[in-house]
Amino acid sequence: MSKSMECPMCGESMRIKERESIDRIPGHSQVVKRTTREWVCPGCDYFEEEVQQEPSRAAGPSPTD
């Protein structure tokens, strides 16, 4: 995937930002960390999650054939 994308709101170039969120589970000392990659527009603060594309499979018979 490319490192820049055009903002659908203002047309400015968006960039990938990586954010880490920490969730604490009540009653436990366990902490869950999640990393999210988002496209962020510096011009209008529009954002959306990055969509990961799965690698394409080689053409061939499917497992159900």
29-38 residue pLDDT tens: 888 899 989 9
Give the DSSP letter string of 22-41.
EEEPTTSS-EEEEEEEEEE-
Closest by CA position to 19, among listed 43, 1, 39 = 39
Residue pair 21/34 in contact (Cβ under 8 Å)? The answer is yes
pLDDT band for position 49 (cuts 50, 70, 90): confident
Q: Do the domain assignments include residue 54? A: no
Print the domain residue range for 10: 4-49
Q: Do the domain assignments include residue 63? A: no
Q: Do the domain assignments include residue 55? A: no
pLDDT band for position 1 (cuts 50, 70, 90): very low
Q: Partners of 48 in the beta sheet?
A: 39
Our count of domains for the chain comes to: 1
pLDDT band for position 55 (cuts 50, 70, 90): low
Q: Do the domain assignments include residue 24? A: yes
Predicted local confidence at residue 10, as pLDDT: 92
Place of tokens 């659908």: 8
> What pLDDT, in 10s, does the model give residues 3-28?
778 999 898 999 999 989 998 888 88
Q: Do the domain assignments include residue 56? A: no
Residue pair 37/16 in contact (Cβ under 8 Å)? The answer is yes
Q: Do the domain assignments include residue 18? A: yes
